[in-house]
Amino acid sequence: MSQVPQRQGRRRVKHDVESGAPFTGERNLSMDIVIRPGALTNASSPGYHNKGILLDVTHADPQAQVHLRNGSATSDGIAAQASEARKRQHYARPGHVSFDERRFKLTTLAVESFGRLGEEGYEFIDELATHAVGGRDGGTMALKGVFKERLLQIVSVATQVAISRRVQRYKLALRGRQDAENRRTRSTSDQSTPMIWGWSVDAS
């Protein structure tokens, strides 16, 4: 996902990956992607134009029970909205903001399993595309649309790759547990039931 700020044609966006630098008073916190203040000089929104961006990338599964209970089966974007709110509560809850809000803007790029983004994610993609074409007056709407489509494709591919890898890791872990259980079962069986000429004999 860190490829997203990089692929801006000739306009490279200065950023850091897995950085804890903005959290001066919180040693245990880090952010997935930190876009440095002033890096998005062509963005249209003052929050993006003047500040650095703390981009938290997260996956939201609309089929998870916690989201289904909140209506994700019938309303678009429920899972992504919940993830945005959860991240905001984690990093910037009322009375305890873990970074300097004068210098940084917190943005959550919440991607649902089927590719839908949350409102903050779509806003980030829009501002990044605006910056890439040189601002509102620096490029045509068609060119901005091309950049947005490319960025959304990158996000979509990265999401599917991440989900696939997670499933593969789960399958490998499950297979490892099953193999260990089978070894324990065979070991117990060998100790309690001696074998004579291939026949099981009751040790009692």
pLDDT string in tens for the chain (204-residue length): 555 555 554 567 889 999 999 998 777 899 999 999 989 988 988 889 899 999 999 888 888 888 888 888 888 888 999 999 999 999 988 888 899 999 999 999 999 888 889 999 999 999 999 998 887 665 677 788 888 888 988 887 877 777 667 667 767 777 877 877 777 777 766 555 554 444 444 444
Instruction: Find the farthest-apart pair of alpha carbons in the chain and give their distance in angstroms, rounded.
Output: 90
Kindly list the domain boundaries of the chain, sorted by start residue. Answer: 3-163
Report the distance separating Cα 55 and Cα 124, nearest Å. 9
Specify the pLDDT at position 200.
41
Specify the pLDDT at position 203.
42
